Structure 1
């Protein structure tokens, strides 16, 4: 019978993402992750397999939460044209001179 996890996976991923964000992937050790998440090393390895897999899981969770927040704001708008404008307008300073998005084109 498998053990029931005694920690909140979403909370662990958020804390791990914060550690990676502040220190960088290379500088973040498994001990750093143990300390910041409060989860013992064996449980982290059993759940994620290792630092790389934990990093990928944390990135996916971060991406998903950001996307959900973005689309919730866009879905609240009645005008689809305004929603598209609000989605892409903030991106223009990052790519001056580009007239469209490769994902949309």
Structure 2
């Protein structure tokens, strides 16, 4: 956040964010904050990751990695682009009217 607050032209790119193993609500919250501090200069990089063991570490089925990625990415996009999101999916508890 410090670099974002003290600069005005540098684009800020994340490392690869492996959204399949993370909570998209938390990802949206964290990166929205950084995007606000940087006045819209954040570029979020999302990938599936290639580190063996990531899915086991988080109690997730590696065989379902593409399903996890698809669902969590869809929720993340909605959280960043819509107001009052209602969500019911397979991989996280339901959401009601989340902004």
Task: Tell me the TM-score normalised to structure 2 length.
Answer: 0.32
Larger Rg computed on CA atoms? 1
State the structure with bigger RCO (CA 8 A, min sep 6), 1 or 2. Answer: 2
